[in-house]
Amino acid sequence: MGASQTRTEHKYQDLADKTGFSLEQIENLHKRFQQLSDNEETISREQLDSIPSLANNPIRKQIIEAFFDKRNQHQNEVGSCEEIGFEQFLMVMSHFRPPSLKTTEEEKEAMRKEKLHFLFNMHDTDNDGTITLVEYRKVVEELLSKSGDIEQETVKAIADAAMLEVASTNVPHMAPDEFYEGITFEHFQQILKGLEMETRMHIRFLDVDTPTLRCGKSSS
Amino acid sequence: MPSRTGSHSPTGIGKSLPERGLLLLMVLVLLEGSVIPLGAASSPDTGHQKNVDNHKAEGEKNHTKKAFPVLDLDYRHIQTPFEISLWVLLASVMKLGFHMIPRLPGIVPESCLLITVGLLVGGLIKLAGEKVPPVLDSQLFFLCLLPPIILDAGYFLPIRPFMENLGTILMFAVVGTLWNAFFIGGLLYAVCQIQPANPNELHQLEILPCLLFGSIISAVDPVAVLAVFEEIHINELLHILVFGESLLNDAVTVVLYHLFEEYSAAGTVTVLDGFLGIISFLVVSLGGILVGAIYGILAAFTSRFTSHTRVIEPLFVFVYSYMAYLSAEMFHLSGIMALIACGAVMRPYVEANISHKSHTTIKYFLKMWSSVSETLIFIFLGVATVDGPHHWNWTFVTVTVILCLVSRVIGVVGLTCVINKFRIVKLTTKDQFIVAYGGMRGAIAFSLGFLLKKEEFPMREMFLTAIITVIFFTVFVQGMTIKPLVELLAVKKKQEAKRSINEEIHTQFLDHLLTGIEDICGHYGHHHWKDKLNRFNKKYVKKCLIAGERSKEPQLIAFYHKMEMKQAIDLVESGGGVNLPSAVPSTVSMQNIQPKKPPPAKPVEKALPKMTKGREEEIRQILRSNLQKTRQRLRSYNRHTLVADPYEDGFSELLIKKQKMIALEKKIKDMNYYLTVPAAPPDSPTMCRARLASDPQSYSSKPAMDRVPTIQVDLASPQSPDSVNLMDEFRRADQQEEDQGLTMKAPSGQSGFNRPGEADRGREQQKLTRCLSDPGPSADEEEEEEPFLP
């Protein structure tokens, strides 16, 4: 109680406005942050890497990298950090908030664009604004990395076919000698518009004060 | 469910009139046929009655010696199968007839039309003075007519949306049905008690029969829902909500029905009984699912070993499912849930194991049976309406109808308020309206009412009349108006687009991403458990149940293969057509996307990843054999055609086709870029799937080349001894295929055709299978192609 408490609340209020989380959710996430960072102020890549349940995830590296990517901080910076603080942690998490019943159509559109941009940044590792074939191949390769021995040709074939599809849909008529540089963000939006990102890309953030690692309610 | 595109009339109005006349004639003949046999027999088609008749006939014959009968009429001998076939034929002809009438299918749903036909037929039979076959009583309906529809629904159930909305569906199914039953039953009782006008009748009605009636009438019927919703194409969410509810409420209905039926005689239900009822509900539903899952796993396991006897693969699917249903019914568990569980559990594994043809067979048979069943059910509803003993009571019937509507609306709205707290994608008012309006009652309610015994339930006829009225109301009024309402309210429709590889990649990517974020957040949510289940599935279950290499194939690769095959089929099928097999015709090819390499020493084609020689050969073989076939037909039209192809008209067409063939050759080279399918071991089902040639489903409605298998008599010869090695593979697989079509050898004068770049293939084997003459189904059937791995 006292001055420190109000200061914390004030700090959280600031974050709540920025990210859209409720105060309780921020508290929960802060607890988790403390746990991950061993009560330090910042988290490094190694600490995220050491989460045991992440070990089985084929795209683990990309996920972790996304936390340290400055482009996801809504601040028009590029590059990556070495360590992130709680605010950056929250900003990344805020990409996964679900829409509520009150969000309007424009807000939903904006949300979808934001989420798609997050995905785009995950694929576009060299920050040049397009996903080239090489980068896309890497994506597919990572996706299939935990599925046993996959031949390189398959990976390339799948990535090629996907790329071809994007090109055909977005730039239908290309002369044989033209070259499709890569998937821009607009094209990316175009090909994924059927997936309705704003409703699919979310996780349930617990409202009530629960200890971590408790089974969450299944969403339906 | 039944394809709606149907057959087109060849020309406009002019031809349809004689056709309609013919149709009418056929109908009349059939009706005559059905009425006369009914007159010939002393009783309708119950088995043991027939035996008694035969016995009597036999006893009389032994006494006198007659002249040897040259021509004899023994109707009783074939009576039952004959009548059954007549009914089925009538149902199918009716279905044909509806689609010939120009605008009717758009306005009136098929179910309404079928009930009307049933009314007519029932009226005719009654006029003829005969007894209507009691089809909607328990045995025939529940054991023969209902399972195909449910199996079809369960096998093709879209698992992902179903699981995502499972909580909502269960809430509607369980709580909603309970609410409906008690609300309707209770209020009916109250209304009956306060009825001053008919003091005798309605006052007799106890609370328990009322509740029983409520439980019968409250359940949403899957047959009716399917029949109507199929035609309105609403979005997936609403469809799965209403449909899932109609499937899962079977357990509730079963328990309530048996509970109230048992205790109606006793007259009271104690708390203990209620408690037992709850336990019974859990047993019935979970037991049903368990039984279904067990049979499903058995079926999947059996299908692992069918690689040498492909012919009977579909049989396993059908028989295991049916046995699941019967076993569940034996223990008074929920047969519907067993069937759904069986179909849903076995599907991913069976589809990985069976051949492409078996897959098509299963699909077609299920659609066929379910279509016929549904048609028969509706017709018999009409017949039974005309026939059944009715007892019309204005109060009872109108109050029932009103209460059904009211309770449904209240139930849906109330439940949605609760459900929306837990849902991410909330249900809007429009959604709620559609869910409430789509709650149709159907034949199951009627059959359950029919099953009641008259002795215990003196008001049985009144119940039946009320049930029929409600069914008619929901099917006719709600069924006919739901389509315009959907349009009016601008409810989101079903997305017709097929899933692209990009969407598939990103769906998987998203799954992993969300699981990862959940892990970082530290709480075990939905995705975490789903991921765990998938990993368990991959590690243990798939190895057990899927044969060979496919057990290790990741979903993305499986999807990719399937897509490639489809593209290859499409490309060949378009017969050198102009369009590339993509939704948007585009000139983009692989060259456009390959990164520019600093000076490419060779042309761009060679810079592509080299696929293994064997695979390349194989793809070429497939394509060429398809080409051969089309070429074959062209040539045979010239010289040796036994069967004239009615669609080929003129030499000029042939020349154009020839040119297209040449263009197609060029495209084959381009196909190299598309079909970079990696090597698979020779005996894997992947290879069998590569037999694109005889897949009838992929055939678009291209009339010219594919309808009639033309036969070249003088070139038929046994298998060529010097076929390429890979052809051995096909031959071995071929010999076990069910349709031993006519084998033909390609004429050796093939070199006349331009085949740039190909090595000498030697003489090749060809099979013309009867499948070729099968016109494929409509395009939207293809959506169910994909295996729904969770």
Which of A31, A37, A53 would best serve as a mutation to test chain B binding (most B beta carbons within 10 A)?
A: A53
- Give the H/E segment covering residue B30: helix B13-40
Tell me, what's the pLDDT at B295? 94
Please name the amino acid found at residue A57: N
- Give the H/E segment covering residue B352: helix B335-353
Nearest-by-Cβ selection for A57 from B512, B580, B583: B512
Distance (Å, whole) CA B316 – CA B359: 12
Nearest-by-Cβ selection for B596 from A179, A191, A218: A179
Question: CA-CA-CA-CA torsion for A13, A15, A17, A23, nearest 10 degrees?
Answer: -50
Q: In this structure, is the dihedral angle defined by the CA atoms of residues A140, A142, A144 and A149, taken in order, positive or negative? A: positive
Q: Which residues partner with B765 through β-bridges? A: B745
Q: Are B742 and B719 in contact (CB under 8 A)?
A: no
Residues of A in contact with B594 (CB under 8 A): 133
B-proximal residues of A, 106-145, CB under 8 Å: 119, 122, 132-134, 139-140, 143-144
Flag if B422 and A220 touch (Cβ within 8 Å): yes
Asked if the structure places residue B780 within a domain, the reply is no
Question: Considering only CA atoms, which of B700, B680, B701, B699 is closest in space to residue B690?
Answer: B680
B-proximal residues of A, 56-85, CB under 8 Å: 56-60, 63, 67
Flag if B594 and A171 touch (Cβ within 8 Å): no
Flag if B592 and A176 touch (Cβ within 8 Å): yes
Flag if B519 and A53 touch (Cβ within 8 Å): yes
Asked if the structure places residue B561 within a domain, the reply is no
Residues of B in contact with A180 (CB under 8 A): 588, 592-593
Domains along chain A with CATH numbers: 1-98+202-212 (1.10.238.10), 99-201 (1.10.238.10)
Q: Are B160 and B533 in contact (CB under 8 A)?
A: no
Residues of A in contact with B516 (CB under 8 A): 54, 57, 59-60, 63
Residues of A in contact with B490 (CB under 8 A): none
Asked if the structure places residue B657 within a domain, the reply is no
Residues of A in contact with B550 (CB under 8 A): none
Flag if B502 and A165 touch (Cβ within 8 Å): yes
Nearest-by-Cβ selection for B513 from A63, A174, A194: A63
DSSP string, B166-179: HHHHHIIIIIIHHH
Residue B717: C-alpha distances to residues B284, B726, B733, B745 (Å): 60, 20, 19, 6
Q: Which residues partner with B234 through β-bridges? A: B493
Give the three-class secondary structure for B486: helix
Distance (Å, whole) CA B545 – CA B301: 5
Question: Considering only CA atoms, which of B676, B684, B453 is closest in space to residue B565?
Answer: B676
Flag if A167 and B508 touch (Cβ within 8 Å): no
A129-133: Cβ within 8 A, 24+ apart = A129/A184, A129/A185, A130/A181, A130/A182, A130/A183, A130/A184, A131/A182, A131/A183, A131/A188, A132/A181, A132/A182, A132/B595, A133/A159, A133/A160, A133/A163, A133/A182, A133/B593, A133/B594, A133/B595
Q: Which residues partner with A69 through β-bridges? A: A80
Q: Which two tokens stand for residue B602?
A: 């060779």
- Identify the domain containing residue B342 by its residue range: 138-490
Asked if the structure places residue B412 within a domain, the reply is yes
Please count the residue pairs, one from chain A and one from chain B, whose beta carbons lie less than 8 angstroms apart: 223
A50 close contact with B: CB closer than 8 A: no
Flag if B506 and A164 touch (Cβ within 8 Å): no
Flag if A192 and B503 touch (Cβ within 8 Å): yes
Tell me, what's the pLDDT at B761? 40
Please name the amino acid found at residue A108: K
Residues of B in contact with A167 (CB under 8 A): 586, 588, 592-593
Residue of B nearest to A33 (CA): B521
Which of A123, A154, A188 would best serve as a mutation to test chain B binding (most B beta carbons within 10 A)?
A: A154
Residue of B nearest to A58 (CA): B512
- Kindly give the parts of chain A with pLDDT less than 70: 1-11, 101, 174-177, 206-220
Per run of 10 residues, the mean pLDDT along chain B (length 790 residues) is 38 50 59 51 42 48 73 85 87 84 79 87 83 70 90 88 88 91 89 70 77 89 87 86 89 86 75 86 91 93 87 91 93 90 90 86 91 88 82 85 92 92 83 89 87 80 89 90 87 73 83 84 77 82 76 74 76 63 54 53 42 62 63 44 45 60 65 48 45 42 42 42 41 41 41 39 39 43 43
Asked if the structure places residue B649 within a domain, the reply is no
Residues of A in contact with B167 (CB under 8 A): 218, 220
CATH number at residue B334: 1.20.1530.20
Residue of B nearest to A155 (CA): B557
Nearest-by-Cβ selection for B522 from A32, A157, A161: A32
The ipTM, to two decimals, is 0.88
Distance (Å, whole) CA B602 – CA B621: 26
* Smallest Cα distance from A139 to chain B, Å: 9
Asked if the structure places residue B297 within a domain, the reply is yes
Task: Report the domain count for chain B.
Answer: 1
Asked if the structure places residue B263 within a domain, the reply is yes
Flag if B593 and A180 touch (Cβ within 8 Å): yes
Flag if B525 and A204 touch (Cβ within 8 Å): yes
Flag if A200 and B495 touch (Cβ within 8 Å): no
Flag if B525 and A51 touch (Cβ within 8 Å): no
Tell me, what's the pLDDT at A193? 79
Flag if A133 and B426 touch (Cβ within 8 Å): no
Nearest-by-Cβ selection for B552 from A143, A148, A217: A148
DSSP string, B693-706: GG-GGG--S-HHHH
Residue of B nearest to A62 (CA): B513
Residues of B in contact with A60 (CB under 8 A): 516
Distance (Å, whole) CA A24 – CA B244: 36
Residues of B in contact with A220 (CB under 8 A): 164-168, 422-423
Residue of B nearest to A137 (CA): B505
pTM of the model: 0.69
Which of A64, A92, A166, A218 would best serve as a mutation to test chain B binding (most B beta carbons within 10 A)?
A: A218
Give the three-class secondary structure for B639: coil
Ramachandran class of B371: left when φ > 0, alpha when ψ lies in -120 to 50, beta otherwise: alpha
Tell me, what's the pLDDT at B23? 57
Flag if A54 and B518 touch (Cβ within 8 Å): no
Residues of A in contact with B165 (CB under 8 A): 220
Residues of B in contact with A48 (CB under 8 A): 520
A19 close contact with B: CB closer than 8 A: no
B400 half-sphere exposure, CB direction, 13 A CA radius: 28
The strand pair at B742-745 and A83-84 is best described as: unpaired
Residue of A nearest to B168 (CA): A220
